[in-house]
């Protein structure tokens, strides 16, 4: 597919909206609000993307069969002058990912993942999440302070998903690094050629190493099946006579998509609660509100503010003519603050009902890991509030939002908190 974004449409708005300006990285919602009211279907010359910020446009776009999730052309486009061979392994991997495919291929791949998400498997995750959270908090509980990102949010989803997949402890640090390298290139909105070449090579190398590890684990589980997700998927694949070559890619997709997204949402959630002491108190007084609090965190400050699609044909959205091959960024984050859909959208209200946010998207690509992500957030936040008395921001340390040009992910590099130490 030939991407059109280098050719700026003649009617493009002169107005620029810098999504990566420091003030937007610190808080993007005032900028999203401006975009939604001034130019809700905006062509960003800087990014070469169309950006949708209205709920109704984003909701319609995730169901629009004229838009493709096949991002191969987008990945190649990011390379600039770099040879496509440099990301061949990365492309080989993502072309087998459900998030990057359209029906009927998408329908087939999504079905292949089902055996890993049985009710029995999901129930077994609860104790893994609780034990992992407790183990991480044991390390900091008597210190009176921690960095929510490095002490908790990075390790928690990594350890949990590794347990679920039965990844040996010795490989977990590598796995986190590879997932970060893959996610950084996957969501990068662009940058200098040198920067992109570096990100692309890292992502390609990570895909090779990741795949080798998963193949090795699959072999091992074939000889000695357990109750982990690799064993479940592997048995189902053999029983149903599916192509074995695809199994590592499916495992890599589930492992990858569940890491950075959850890390960022934990930090965004803690930040939202500590920034709204009335809501924090309400939750502490009534912990049964945790489920609706998690939904409100997903609405108020999702870790996946955007996803992308490619126009398969010429089409019109909100009166703007979009040509075939254009990249369209669907703003889940901006849509979640649309006053046409949500009453007082800038208010963080942990009892909000209804709350039809797009934090996990909607339609055929609705997040496969939503059950796991919700469970992780629920257990993690409940345990934090129960075990760390008087949890508050560290007044001496500024929270540091992630500084990157990644449109897809939004979180923190550092979020320091204090609490009353429990010496036991």
Compare residues 4 and 262 and give the one whose CB is closer to ligand HEM: 262
- For the CB of residue 41, give the shortest distance to ligand HEM in the complex, in Å: 18
**Ordered DSSP codes for 300-328:** HT-S--EEEEEESS-EEETTEEE-TT-EE
- For the CB of residue 63, give the shortest distance to ligand HEM in the complex, in Å: 11
DSSP letter at 188 equals B
- For the CB of residue 294, give the shortest distance to ligand HEM in the complex, in Å: 9
**Cβ-closest position to ligand HEM:** 369
Compare residues 62 and 175 and give the one whose CB is closer to ligand HEM: 62
Distance CA 265, CA 3 (A): 32
- For the CB of residue 107, give the shortest distance to ligand HEM in the complex, in Å: 9
Compare residues 156 and 206 and give the one whose CB is closer to ligand HEM: 156
- For the CB of residue 378, give the shortest distance to ligand HEM in the complex, in Å: 11
Distance CA 49, CA 5 (A): 7
| Contact call for residues 303 and 369 (beta carbons, < 8 A) | no
| Contact call for residues 265 and 373 (beta carbons, < 8 A) | yes
Compare residues 61 and 197 and give the one whose CB is closer to ligand HEM: 61
DSSP letter at 406 equals B
Compare residues 167 and 197 and give the one whose CB is closer to ligand HEM: 167
Distance CA 283, CA 382 (A): 9
- What is the side-by-side strand order in the sheet with 306-311? 41-44, 49-52, 327-331, 306-311, 67-68
DSSP letter at 72 equals H
- For the CB of residue 360, give the shortest distance to ligand HEM in the complex, in Å: 5
Cβ-based neighbours of 21, under 8 Å, separated by 6 or more:
31
Instruction: Give the residue among 278, 276, 279 at the shortest CA–CA distance from 293.
Output: 279
Helix (H) or strand (E) holding 330: strand 327-331
- For the CB of residue 230, give the shortest distance to ligand HEM in the complex, in Å: 13
**Ordered DSSP codes for 250-304:** HHHHHHHHTTHHHHHHHHHHHHHHHH-HHHHHHHHH-GGGHHHHHHHHHHHT-S-
- For the CB of residue 401, give the shortest distance to ligand HEM in the complex, in Å: 17
- For the CB of residue 102, give the shortest distance to ligand HEM in the complex, in Å: 10
- For the CB of residue 328, give the shortest distance to ligand HEM in the complex, in Å: 11
Residues that bind ligand HEM (CB under 6 A): 62, 69, 98-99, 110, 253-254, 257-258, 261-262, 265, 302-304, 307, 332, 359-361, 365, 367-369, 372-373
Cβ-based neighbours of 134, under 8 Å, separated by 6 or more:
383, 387
Compare residues 372 and 391 and give the one whose CB is closer to ligand HEM: 372
Compare residues 153 and 197 and give the one whose CB is closer to ligand HEM: 153
Using a CB cutoff of 8 Å and minimum separation of 24, what contacts does 277-285 make? 279/348, 279/349, 279/350, 280/385, 280/391, 282/350, 282/351, 283/350, 283/385, 284/385
Compare residues 360 and 412 and give the one whose CB is closer to ligand HEM: 360
- For the CB of residue 128, give the shortest distance to ligand HEM in the complex, in Å: 12
Residue burial 153-183, b: 16+ Cβ < 10 Å; e: rest: bbbbbbbbbbbbbebeeeebeebbebbbbbb
Compare residues 44 and 303 and give the one whose CB is closer to ligand HEM: 303
Compare residues 137 and 265 and give the one whose CB is closer to ligand HEM: 265
Side-chain half-sphere CA neighbours of 305 within 13 A: 24
Cβ-based neighbours of 283, under 8 Å, separated by 6 or more:
273, 289, 290, 293, 350, 385
Compare residues 28 and 418 and give the one whose CB is closer to ligand HEM: 28
């Amino acid at each position: 597919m030939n991407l059109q974004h280098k050719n700026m449409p003649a009617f493009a708005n002169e107005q620029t909206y810098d999504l990566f300006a420091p003030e937007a990285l610190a808080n993007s919602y005032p900028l999203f609000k401006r975009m939604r009211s001034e130019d809700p279907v905006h062509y960003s010359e800087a990014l070469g993307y169309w950006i949708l910020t209205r709920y109704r446009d984003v909701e319609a776009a995730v169901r629009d069969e004229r838009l493709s999730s096949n991002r191969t052309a987008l990945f190649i486009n990011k390379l600039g002058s770099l040879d496509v061979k440099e990301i061949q392994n990365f492309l080989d991997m993502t072309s087998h990912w459900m998030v990057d495919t359209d029906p009927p291929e998408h329908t087939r791949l999504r079905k292949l993942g089902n055996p890993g998400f049985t009710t029995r498997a999901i129930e077994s995750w609860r104790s893994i999440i609780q034990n992992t959270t407790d183990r991480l908090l044991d390390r900091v509980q008597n210190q009176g302070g921690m960095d929510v990102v490095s002490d908790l949010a990075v390790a928690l989803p990594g350890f949990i998903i590794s347990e679920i997949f039965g990844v040996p402890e010795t490989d977990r640090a590598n796995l986190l690094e590879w997932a970060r390298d893959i996610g950084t290139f996957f969501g990068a909105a662009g940058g200098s050629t040198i920067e992109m070449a570096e990100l692309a090579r890292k992502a390609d190398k990570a895909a090779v190493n990741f795949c080798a590890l998963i193949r090795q684990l699959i072999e091992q589980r074939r000889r000695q099946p357990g109750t982990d997700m690799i064993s479940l998927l592997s048995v189902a694949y053999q029983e149903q006579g599916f192509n074995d070559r695809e199994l590592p890619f499916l495992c890599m997709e589930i492992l990858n998509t569940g890491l950075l997204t959850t890390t960022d949402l934990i930090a965004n959630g803690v930040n939202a609660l500590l920034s709204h002491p009335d809501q924090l108190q309400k939750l502490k007084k009534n912990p049964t509100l945790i489920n609706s609090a998690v939904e409100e965190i997903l609405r108020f400050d999702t870790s996946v503010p955007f996803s992308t699609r490619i126009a398969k044909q010429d089409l019109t959205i909100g009166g703007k003519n979009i040509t075939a091959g254009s990249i369209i960024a669907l703003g889940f984050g901006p849509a979640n603050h649309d006053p046409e859909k949500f009453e007082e959208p800038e208010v963080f209200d942990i009892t909000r009902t209804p709350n039809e946010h797009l934090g996990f998207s909607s339609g055929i690509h609705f997040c496969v890991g939503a059950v796991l992500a919700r469970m992780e957030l629920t257990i993690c936040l409940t345990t934090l509030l129960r075990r760390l008395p008087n949890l508050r921001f560290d007044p001496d340390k500024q929270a540091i939002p992630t500084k990157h040009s990644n449109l897809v992910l939004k979180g923190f590099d550092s979020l320091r908190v204090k609490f009353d130490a429990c010496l036991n």
